[in-house]
Amino acid sequence: MFRSIFTNSFGILFSRILGFIRDLLTASILGANIYSDIFFVAFKLPNLFRRIFAEGAFVQSFLPSFTRSKHKALFSIHIFLVFLLFLIVMSMSVNLFSQEATRAIAVGFDAQSVEIAAPFVAICFWYLPLIFMVTFLSTFLHYKNHFATTAFGTGLLNIALIIALLLAAKMDNESVVLYLSYGVVGGGIAQLLLHIFTIKVLNLHKLLLGGIKYYRAKKHKVVKESREFYKKFFPAVWGNSTAQIAAFLDTWLASFLASGAISYLYYANRVFQLPLALFAIAVSIALFPRIARHIRHLDKDKAYHMMYRGFILLSIVLSVSTAIGIIFAEQIVWLLFERGAFEAQDTLNTTLILQMYLIGLLPFGLSKLFLLWLYAHEQQNMAAKIATLSLLCNIILSLAFIYPLGAAGLALSSSISGFVTLVATLRAIGKDELRAMARGSSS
């Protein structure tokens, strides 16, 4: 267990360090202005779907269904082809109607900003089908308890963006955004090639090739299994996407604020996401296949014990991270971003937003752990209801706080919704199950 968590955490740390280097260069070269806002908007929609697929809905729905399937190869290929076709059609549609897609993402942009941003939105969206293929292949690696490739592979996106920034450093802002957009696609291609290579090394490609070989003749055998998967997948999509939708809405609302607000939210959220990913997401990714397998084999005591250990670990590290982050928020932002076009006032604006985000670090992290229990029991509908409650709370509070507090009010709304999610999740699990987790066994 701890080896898998360490692998995930170290891989995420590697990727996030590269990500901070990327953000440092972005802040230095672009600063916090309309062009940085344009890039963050262009990358927002594919990144939204990336997080839904890579960090939640697909894995948490596909893995239990794949484990239970009697025709694993056929089932896998069927799901892969359906999703890939859908995402390619969606990407083509965004490219054909890029200005309409841009207006939907950033309603507050004026006509000139929409016209500038639209080509970059179209380019970045091709990252989506690439990252789906990466996620699909990573699910097989997780099934075999291999986490290193996916954990470290995420860094390839940041490497591609760093290269793009270095190449465009002395160019005008619009050219920098163009290079970054192509860097997004290049990073997706690099991640996909790495996963294909690992699948081949671990001989997992034989299962996929077998599914392709017999798909046309035997696809009828997985019709029922596929229907069951879709019934669980769509509630899981909603349950895992509400946090990302909330972040998307923050960008939408921030587009009505002064220039730079979107960038402040982005930079602050990047810092907030480091401990969340390094600890909560890493623990969740490592524990989910094991917990799902223990529950599938009716060995709940082992599942309770793993939940207990995960809870203790996350409670300690997230509490410490919250305290350190809030106390030293200004110094962290100054150290990471204040150079070049990113000035002292930008640091102060970003600091307040970061502190508001960090209030929700502990509840968001623990929610990710406890939601695993619902997904492992295939209670996606309950998780979706909890997510809906949290999203509604976030929307109402965002609208209430945006005018008195500005972008900081949007971050505070997010944190409060994290507490709502945690309380609702604990109630859904029930007192008896929580007591068993606290003991580490059912006895």
Written in H, E and C, the secondary structure of 34-78 is: HHHHHHHHHHHHHHHHHHHHHCCHHHHHHHHHHHHCCCHHHHHHH
> Residue 89 — very low, low, confident or very high, per pLDDT cuts 50/70/90?
very high
- pLDDT tens per residue across span 70-83: 777 788 888 888 88
> In this model, does residue 200 exceed pLDDT 70?
yes
- In this prediction, residues 55-61 reach a mean pLDDT of 66
CA 407 to chain centre: 21
pLDDT of residue 221: 76
- Other Cβ atoms less than 10 A from the Cβ of 421: the count is 28
CA distance 180 to 112: 20
Q: Judge contact between 418 and 363, C-beta under 8 A.
A: yes
Q: Return the higher-pLDDT residue of 344 and 361.
A: 361
Which of 107, 408, 56, 412 shows the shortest CA–CA distance to 249? 107
Residue with tokens 């909560």: 280
Give the lowest-confidence range in 1-10, 82-91, 375-384. 1-10
CB-based contact 106:117 (threshold 8 Å): yes
Distances (CA, A) of 298 to 292, 301, 379, 440: 10, 9, 16, 15
Q: How many CB atoms sit inside 10 A of residue 258's CB? A: 10
- In this model, does residue 32 exceed pLDDT 70? no
**Cα 285 vs. chain centroid, distance in angstroms?**
12
Question: Tell me, what's the pLDDT at 196?
Answer: 92
* Percent of the chain's residues with pLDDT above 90: 27
Q: What's the pLDDT score for residue 442?
A: 64
Helix (H) or strand (E) holding 358: helix 344-358
Report which listed range, 150-164, 319-333, 367-381, is most confident. 319-333
What's the average model confidence in pLDDT over 211-222? 74
Structure confidence at residue 108 (pLDDT): 67
Q: What is the pLDDT of residue 338?
A: 81
pLDDT at 192: 94
- Output the CA torsion 212→218→220→222 (10° steps): -60
How confident is the model at residue 109, as a pLDDT? 75
Distances, alpha carbon 34 to alpha carbons 112, 354, 365, 433, in Å:
11, 21, 32, 50
* Whether residue 219 has pLDDT greater than 80: no
Q: What does the pLDDT look like over 238-282, one tens digit per residue?
A: 776 677 778 778 877 887 887 778 888 888 988 898 888 878 877
Top-confidence range, 116-125, 232-241, 397-406: 397-406
pLDDT over 90 (residue 392): yes
Q: How far apart are CA 439 and CA 289, in angstroms?
A: 22
Task: Look at residues 71, 85, 86 and name the one whose alpha carbon lies nearest to residue 214.
Answer: 71
The contacts of residue 200 (CB under 8 Å, 6+ apart) are none
At 227, the pLDDT band (50, 70, 90 cuts) reads confident
Confidence of residue 193 (pLDDT cuts 50, 70, 90): very high
Question: Is the pTM of the predicted complex or chain greater than 0.85?
Answer: no
pLDDT at 316: 95
The whole-angstrom separation of Cα 214 and Cα 72 is 12
Q: What are the pLDDT digits (tens) for 152-187?
A: 888 898 899 999 999 988 888 888 888 999 999 999
Q: State which amino acid sits at residue 291.
A: I
Give the Cα separation of 361 and 344 in Å (integer).
26
Q: Contact 425/368 with Cβ under 8 angstroms?
A: no
Q: What is the mean pLDDT of the chain?
A: 83
